[in-house]
Structure 1
Amino acid sequence: MQGLAQRVTATHPGLVNSDASYGELAWNWGRAHATESHAWRRRLWFADNDLVAWGWAQLPRQVRRRDGSTHDITGAYLAYQVDPDHAGLVDEVIDWFDGVASGVERTVLPCADDEFGLRRWAAHGYSEDQSALDDWTQLNERDLTDIAEPVLPHGFRFRTAAEAGAEAVVRAHVDAWPRSVYTVEAYEDLRQTAPYREDLHVLVEAPDGTMACSAIMWLDEVNRTAEFEPVGTHPDFRRRGLATAMLLHGMRLARAAGATHMTVACLGAEGRPAARELYYGVGFRMLARDVPLVKPADRA
């Protein structure tokens, strides 16, 4: 699946579906397979021994949060990728998803530039998800030729995951994303994914020892590109320039590791500007966006 992501990135970067990039696959698999894989269904399509399409359906399930509360997910979501040279397989992917997720609401995030795919999803009864008009995602990119010097406030310092340790790494993520179900066990699983590197997992430590923000970078050596995912800042340390400094520091580390290009995804709606403005402020610009689609539970 990551190999297909690399091939599509090399030839059609605007068609890398949300949740189907090289780094996103590692992040989603590593952090969740121990607790959520019972609700996953996967299908692979091959041509001459090459993977040319895949579907990863996440079915209804109950998620237990770190505070002991639970959240019921009643619909199904599909992550998928189809090789543009085998675009017609999207119909098989859709039929498969409709089969494994029949009877529940189904959502999917195809790329806005995938005109053929969008027509096929519409033909199968999917329409724009009006409830997700503020939740579409854009992919941003920049090259790594000119990167400003990162500047941290007095007393703050950069750390790597190896220096911070697992407990602090997980706490940094959960502080930034309070609804996350991330655990030390999930992080240990994440560390086993092939592209994970502790030296490309960066944090900013506050003077009191709190890990104020953090980001993981996923290096695709084939395409010499790296991806930030996820990026988060503790609520008590926002609007101090820490994330900006961390992103600049991270891009310098990625460049030293061999990357010439960087990507990061964020919410793109006009009313959700915070992350977009952060990334634009360090030189990123939009490359592509997705289109939230939905099919009601009562539609065959």
Structure 2
Amino acid sequence: MVVERHDLDGPDGVDALLEFTRRTWTAVSRWHVGDIAWTFGQFDGPAPGTRTSMWREDGRTLAAITAFGAERQDGATLTFHADQARPDAADTALSWAKTVYPEMSVWILETEHHLAAALARAGLRTDPRDDGPFFLAHRVTLDGTLPAVNSPGYTVRPLRGADEIPRRAGLHRAVWAPSSVTDARYRTMAARPPYRPEFDTVVEDPDGELVAYCLGWYDEVNRAGLLEPIGTLARHRRRGLARAAILATLHAFRAAGGDTAIVYARGDDGYPVPRTVYPTAGFTAFARTRVYR
């Protein structure tokens, strides 16, 4: 068979990327189906400002690279994933990327040893002096020790369905302003797997306003959930509402048969709050991202 490159260009490409990510996921992988759904599901294809290339053999995806900011003077930022059983596909993908993005920076999780080996073969290295932004991967086991959800005066519940999407998308925009998430884009994302409203947790104040949320993504094949994104309106922060939404989503994962859940938080001092929240919900950090150049 011949490994051929294809650019993600529509819903079929998103489906192929989801299948590839689900099939190759491990407990130490950076990519999860939730990352794919959040990044590309709003558009049912390429996200603005990105280019995603996939290397396939007989219709089966073996490696993929997403480039962000390819037009920047200092080079593109890439995320990279490959089938552990096919290092040749990883090498083919990186060989192509070096010609297209000569000033690229590639982010992986330090536990993805097969990707680190491929990057080393391609001549890329980490800089031990690099003190720029990085992410910490956290995980929690969904066993009987999960804390109860506690949010006095507030209601924590799943999204009730499509009718609430304008309020839900509006909440995201208010938390993360400026944001590109429109009502229409949220509807597109919510209309297809792997989105499920029972994992889209919202927190409602006594006046009925949505004030916090945690969006969960569940991979039923690997029995693993991902939290992405999470937020609270500024005037309702420091009341434990994000933690309550997180815990409610974890309980929903467990009810669906989940074994584990993961979340990524900035680990550097430039954005310190999230890394203090997740341990209170039972998460433990197990790895950080590394940048290869």
TM-score range, shorter chain: 0.7 to 0.9
Q: TM-score, normalised by structure 1?
A: 0.81
Aligned equivalent of 1:269: 268
Aligned to 1:152: 151
- Letter of the 1:113 counterpart: T
What corresponds to 2:138 in structure 1? 140
Deviations 1:207-264 (A, max 9, x none): 2333211111111111111111111111111110111111111111121122121111
Contact 1:136 1:269 in 2 (8 A): yes
Q: Distance in 1 between matches of 2:74 and 2:158?
A: 38
Alignment of 1:9-88 (within 5 A): 9=25, 12-14=26-28, 16-17=29-30, 20-32=31-43, 36-37=47-48, 39-47=49-57, 49-60=59-70, 75-88=75-88
* CA pair 168-273 structure 1, distance change in 2 beyond 3 A: same
Aligned residue for 2:19, secondary structure, equals: helix
Query: Is the Cα contact below 8 Å between 1:134 and 1:272 reproduced in 2?
Result: no
- 2:187 is the counterpart of 1:184: no
Report the CA distance between 1:185 and its aligned residue.
1.5
Matched, 1:92 2:92: yes
Which 10-residue stretch deviates more, 246-255 or 47-56? 47-56
Partner of 2:7: none
Identify which range, 157-166 or 141-150, moves more after superposition: 157-166
Q: CA deviation at 1:34?
A: 6.9
- Aligned-partner Cα distance in 2 for 1:180–1:75: 24
Decide whether the 8 Å contact of 2:203 with 2:241 is kept in 1: yes
Give 1:107-126 correspondences, 5 Å limit: 107-115=105-113, 117-122=115-120, 124=122, 126=124
Cα offset, 1:115, TM superposition: 4.1
Within 5 Å, which residues of 2 pair with 1:242-253?
Answer: 242-253=241-252
**How far apart are the structure 2 equivalents of 1:36 and 1:5?**
17
TM-aligned CA distance change 1:290 to 1:212, over 3 Å: same
Q: CA deviation at 1:111?
A: 2.1
What SS does the corresponding residue of 1:240 show, helix, strand or coil?
Answer: coil
Aligned equivalents of 1:287 and 1:193: distance in 2?
31
* Cα displacement string for residues 242-299 of structure 1 (whole angstroms, at most 9, x for unaligned residues): 11111111111121122121111111225543111211111111233211234xxxxx
* Paired position in structure 2 for 1:199: 198
Amino acid at match of 2:76: A
* 1:91 positional shift: 2.5
Deviations 1:96-123 (A, max 9, x none): 2233335xx4222122123453354356
Contact 2:217 2:227 in 1 (8 A): yes
Structure 2 equivalent of residue 255 of structure 1: 254
How much does 1:203 deviate?
0.5
CA contact (8 A) 2:40 2:46 kept: no
Task: Give yes or no for contact 2:40–2:47 (8 Å, CA) kept in 1.
Answer: no
Please give the secondary structure, in 2, of the residue aligned with 1:13.
coil
Q: In 2, distance between residues paired with 1:254 and 1:13? A: 16
User: Is residue 158–residue 205 contact of structure 1 (8 Å, CA) maintained in 2?
Assistant: yes
Identify if the C-alpha distance between structure 1 residues 23 and 274 changes in structure 2 by more than 3 Å, giving closer, same or farther. Answer: same
Higher fraction of helix: 1
Instruction: Indicate the RMSD between aligned Cα atoms, in angstroms.
Output: 2.7
Cα separation, 1, equivalents of 2:43 and 2:69: 13
| TM-aligned CA distance change 1:261 to 1:120, over 3 Å | closer
For residues 21-72 of structure 1, what are the alpha-carbon distances to aligned partners after superposition, in whole Å with 9 as ceiling and x for unaligned?
Answer: 11111110023557844x44333223465322122223446xxxxxxxxxx8
Q: How far is 1:131 from its partner? A: 10
Identity %: 25
**Residue-pair matches, total:** 275
Name the stretch that deviates more: 171-180 or 93-102.
93-102
Distance of 2:98 and 2:19 partners within structure 1:
26
Find out whether 1:208 has 2:207 as its counterpart: yes
Gaps of 5+ in 1: 62-71, 295-300
Change (3 A) 1:275 1:32: farther
Higher RCO (CA-CA < 8 Å; seq separation 6+): 1
